């Protein structure tokens, strides 16, 4: 009985996790999502989680296989710029599974061309700001 209860709890948690992601774009390599519940906007700055769900599994330089990449991204809404705060390469689809690799090196501020997926996510992150 405990195994059945644990399994049911796992399915509820997994579906709730999946419901947080909203697709905003796609490219030749991945479907791109943002987490609608972990979006924070304050005083012209926005923080959002960006998920790239790969169409085909990839392998890093150390030989570790991953199927999705999570980016913690900061936006300067007034200057329309973004920078990556951290990156996590995940073993499973949709950000699931163990973290294969992680990088917390903050990138430089960057502007993206209009119409690009990154510019679309800036609009989402900074809406109502």
Q: How confident is the model at residue 122 (pLDDT cuts 50, 70, 90)?
A: very high
CA 51 to chain centre: 2
In a domain, 122, yes or no: yes
Whole-number pLDDT of residue 50 = 96
Question: Quick check: 127 pLDDT over 90?
Answer: no
**pLDDT one-digit tens code per residue, 84-104:** 999 999 999 999 999 999 999
Q: Averaged over 117-129, what is the pLDDT? A: 89
Q: What is the pLDDT of residue 1?
A: 38
Q: 119 falls in which pLDDT band (50, 70, 90)? A: very high
Domain assignment present for residue 57? The answer is yes
Question: Domain with 59 in it: what CATH number?
Answer: 2.40.128.710
pLDDT tens digits for 8-37?
333 333 333 456 899 999 999 999 999 999
Residue-wise pLDDT tens digits, 35-73: 999 899 999 999 999 999 999 999 998 999 999 999 999
Range of the domain at 63: 22-126
Residue 19: which residues within 8 A CB-CB, separation 6 or more? none
Question: Is the residue at 14 inside a domain?
Answer: no
How many independent structural domains does the chain possess?
A: 1
Mean predicted lDDT score pLDDT of the chain? 86
Q: Is residue 113 in a domain?
A: yes
Identify any residues that bridge with 88 across adjacent strands, giving them in sequence order: 70, 102
Whole-angstrom CA distances from 34 to 53, 61, 67, 71, 113 are 11, 26, 16, 9, 19
CB of 69 closer than 8 Å to CB of 61: no
């Amino acid at each position: 009985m405990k195994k059945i209860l644990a399994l049911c709890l796992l399915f509820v948690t997994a579906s709730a996790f999946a419901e947080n992601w909203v697709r905003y774009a796609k490219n030749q390599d991945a479907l791109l999502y943002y987490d609608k519940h972990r979006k924070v906007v304050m005083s012209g700055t926005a923080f959002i989680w960006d998920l790239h769900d790969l169409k085909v599994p990839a392998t890093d330089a150390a030989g570790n296989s991953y199927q999705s990449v999570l980016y913690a991204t900061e936006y300067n809404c007034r200057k329309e710029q973004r920078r990556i705060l951290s990156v996590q390469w995940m073993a499973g689809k949709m950000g699931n599974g163990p973290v294969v690799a992680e990088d917390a090196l903050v990138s430089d501020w960057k502007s993206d061309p209009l119409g690009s997926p990154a510019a679309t996510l800036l609009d989402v992150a900074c809406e109502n700001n």
